[in-house]
């Protein structure tokens, strides 16, 4: 399993880091807290995007 930083997730989704933090804190995006930072499982990002895409289609 590969984990991404908030900055990597933001770059992948083409959104700001603040948006990623909002998704994590809102429970929309699964994340693990490591020390003072978050790590997001790569599969969670793809699942979120797949769900967001199916809602708009």
Q: What's the pLDDT tens digit per position in 1-57? A: 999 999 999 999 999 999 999 999 999 999 999 999 999 999 999 999 998 877 766
Q: Which pLDDT score, from 0 to 100, does residue 57 have?
A: 61
Q: Which pLDDT score, from 0 to 100, does residue 8 have?
A: 98
Query: Could you report how far apart the first and last alpha carbons of the chain are, in Å?
Result: 29
For the chain, what are the domain ranges?
A: 3-56
pTM: 0.87
Answer for the pair 47, 16: CB distance below 8 angstroms, yes or no.
Answer: no
Could you give the CA distance from residue 54 to residue 57 in angstroms, rounded to a whole number?
A: 5
């Amino acid at each position: 399993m590969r984990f991404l930083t908030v900055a990597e997730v933001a770059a992948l989704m083409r959104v700001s880091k603040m948006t990623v933090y909002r998704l994590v804190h809102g429970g929309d995006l699964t994340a693990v807290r490591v020390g003072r930072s978050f790590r997001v499982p790569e599969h969670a990002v793809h699942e979120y995007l797949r769900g967001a895409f199916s809602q708009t289609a």
